[in-house]
Amino acid sequence: MGDAVRVLVGVLPERSGTPCADVLFDLITIAQRGHPFIRTQYARTELQRNMMAEHLLKTDYTHLLMLDVDHRHPPDIVERLSRWVKQDPARLIVAGLAFRRCAPYDPCVFLVNEQTGAIEQPAEWAPGLVQADLVGTAAILIHRSVFERVARPWFAMDFSGAAAGKYPGEDMWFCQRAREAGIGVWCDLSTVSPHLIERWVDAGTFQSYRAQQQDGAALRQAQGPLSEADLVG
């Protein structure tokens, strides 16, 4: 594969339309590096992903990079994930690292314990590439052959565990189907796409901020008054 890696970028739009300013300009920066984007519109997440895969197969691009619009992605994310593919073409699925938006804010990379079947997550890790069993798909690079080897639908919501309160998303469905087809899944722990959290501002927010400012002022007073250097930049 080597230098023949050709990446098509697909962004999953939200119902609200335009992403937040930070995400929007991040995507513009990625596009300015010369990477082609799929023109798409809002639909259910699993449906969008399947349509993007169908689109890829109608082109001569080798890979599809799907980017969620509620994450900030590094401007060189195409290059960062592609480097692992160039090093070893057998890496057909390479994801970046993302974190759950709510507590416990854990990393979306999982290993299946072969003895117990339990799904485990790392609490600590070093930057680099690791092989995983399941990954989040906030930023994921997929070779076209995956969509040729795995049966449709590539992405689907699984409600088979609803009675037990389990609702794995389309990302887990995809990774499981890939594993069943003998396709390895990798995660680049050095490429992180921070997850957007919406917040509501109320009196408690103000009081918390005010307390932080007061604590900061008290600390500054204990250390001495502000100098001119403190006020620059």
49 pLDDT exceeds 80?
Answer: yes
Confidence class for position 227, pLDDT limits 50, 70, 90: very low
Q: Which of 16-30, 45-59, 64-78 has the lowest mean pLDDT?
A: 16-30
CB 141 within 8 Å of CB 95: yes
What pLDDT, on the 0 to 100 scale, is given for residue 218? Answer: 56
Q: What confidence tens digit (pLDDT) does each residue in 169-206 have?
A: 999 999 999 999 999 999 999 999 999 988 888 888 77
Q: Which of 91-95, 172-176, 198-202, 218-222 has the lowest mean pLDDT?
A: 218-222
Confidence class for position 87, pLDDT limits 50, 70, 90: very high
Q: Which amino acid is at 29?
A: T
Confidence class for position 214, pLDDT limits 50, 70, 90: confident
What pLDDT, on the 0 to 100 scale, is given for residue 230? Answer: 40
DSSP letter at 151 equals P
27 pLDDT exceeds 70?
Answer: yes
What pLDDT, on the 0 to 100 scale, is given for residue 233? Answer: 35
What pLDDT, on the 0 to 100 scale, is given for residue 222? Answer: 56
Please give the backbone phi and psi of residue 221, each rounded to the nearest 5 degrees, phi first.
-65, -40
CA distances from 162 to 83, 165, 166, 167, 177 (A): 39, 5, 5, 6, 19
What pLDDT, on the 0 to 100 scale, is given for residue 1? Answer: 40
More confident residue, 115 or 178: 178
Average pLDDT of the segment spanning 202-231: 64
Q: What confidence tens digit (pLDDT) does each residue in 51-74 have?
A: 999 999 999 999 999 999 999 999
Report the C-alpha gap between 162 and 165 in whole angstroms: 5
Report the C-alpha gap between 212 and 218 in whole angstroms: 10
Assign domain 2-192 to its CATH architecture: Alpha-Beta Complex (3.90)
Mean pLDDT of the chain: 88
Domain positions in the chain: 2-192, 200-233
Q: What confidence tens digit (pLDDT) does each residue in 123-167 have?
A: 888 889 999 999 999 999 999 999 999 999 999 999 888 888 888
